[in-house]
A = this chain, B = another copy of it.
Amino acid sequence: MPRTSAAVPRPRRITAAQVAELAGTSVATVSLVVNDKTAGRVSTANIERVRAAVDELGYVVDHTASSLARGTSNIVILIAPDLSNPFYGRVISGIKDELGSEFQLLLSITGEGRNPSAADVHRLIALRPAGILVEAPDDAFLRDLPAGAPLVLLDAPGRETQAVTVNFDLAHGINALLDHLAERGHTRIGYLDSRTRTETFELRRILVETGAAARGMEYVSRPEAASLIDPDAAAEAFLEHWPAWRESGVTALVCATDSHAYGVLKAARDLGVRVPEDLAVTGFDNLPASAIVSPALTTVELPGEALGRGAVRALQAQRLSPEPVTAPLLGATLIVRGSTA
Partner of A6, one of B3, B65, B72: B72
Tell whether A244 is near chain B: CB-to-CB under 8 Å: no
Tell whether A107 is near chain B: CB-to-CB under 8 Å: yes
Interface residues of A in 117-151 (CB under 8 A from B): 119-120, 122-128, 147-150
Tell whether A64 is near chain B: CB-to-CB under 8 Å: yes
A7 with B106: CB separation less than 8 A: no
Query: Given that A98-B1, A319-B7 are known contacts, is A60 also in contact with B126, CB under 8 Å in the complex?
Result: yes
Tell whether A293 is near chain B: CB-to-CB under 8 Å: yes
For residue A98, which residues in chain B have a CB less than 8 angstroms away from its CB?
A: 1
For residue A88, which residues in chain B have a CB less than 8 angstroms away from its CB?
A: 89
Q: How far is the CA of A62 from the CA of B175 in the complex (A)?
A: 49
For residue A42, which residues in chain B have a CB less than 8 angstroms away from its CB?
A: none
For residue A8, which residues in chain B have a CB less than 8 angstroms away from its CB?
A: 150, 318-319, 322
For residue A57, which residues in chain B have a CB less than 8 angstroms away from its CB?
A: none
B89 with A84: CB separation less than 8 A: yes
For residue A287, which residues in chain B have a CB less than 8 angstroms away from its CB?
A: 289
Task: Across the interface, name the chain B residue whose C-beta is closest to A312.
Answer: B1
Q: How far is the CA of A101 from the CA of B117 in the complex (A)?
A: 10
For residue A291, which residues in chain B have a CB less than 8 angstroms away from its CB?
A: 231, 266
For residue A288, which residues in chain B have a CB less than 8 angstroms away from its CB?
A: 230-232, 259, 262
Q: How far is the CA of A58 from the CA of B107 in the complex (A)?
A: 24
Partner of A11, one of B93, B102, B147, B263: B147
Tell whether A197 is near chain B: CB-to-CB under 8 Å: no
B293 with A3: CB separation less than 8 A: no
B60 with A125: CB separation less than 8 A: yes
Q: How far is the CA of A68 from the CA of B321 in the complex (A)?
A: 31
Q: How far is the CA of A288 from the CA of B84 in the complex (A)?
A: 10
Q: How far is the CA of A107 from the CA of B99 in the complex (A)?
A: 13
Tell whether A75 is near chain B: CB-to-CB under 8 Å: yes
Query: Given that A10-B148, A319-B7 are known contacts, is A106 also in contact with B109, CB under 8 Å in the complex?
Result: no
Query: Given that A8-B150, A8-B322, A315-B1 are known contacts, is A104 also in contact with B89, CB under 8 Å in the complex?
Result: no
Interface residues of A in 19-74 (CB under 8 A from B): 58, 60-65, 67-68, 71-73
Tell whether A292 is near chain B: CB-to-CB under 8 Å: yes
Interface residues of A in 305-326 (CB under 8 A from B): 312-313, 315-316, 318-322
Q: How far is the CA of A213 from the CA of B312 in the complex (A)?
A: 52
Q: How far is the CA of A287 from the CA of B85 in the complex (A)?
A: 11
Tell whether A86 is near chain B: CB-to-CB under 8 Å: yes
B104 with A127: CB separation less than 8 A: yes
Q: A61-B126, A105-B106 are in contact. List 11 more A-B contacts (CB 8 A).
A: A1-B102, A4-B320, A7-B322, A60-B122, A63-B123, A63-B126, A96-B111, A104-B106, A107-B107, A293-B293, A294-B295
A-B contact pairs, 16 of them (CB 8 A): A1-B316, A3-B102, A4-B316, A7-B320, A58-B122, A60-B122, A64-B68, A75-B106, A75-B127, A93-B109, A93-B111, A105-B106, A259-B288, A265-B292, A289-B293, A294-B294
Nearest 8 interchain pairs by C-beta: A294-B294, A289-B289, A86-B86, A63-B126, A64-B67, A60-B122, A83-B89, A262-B292
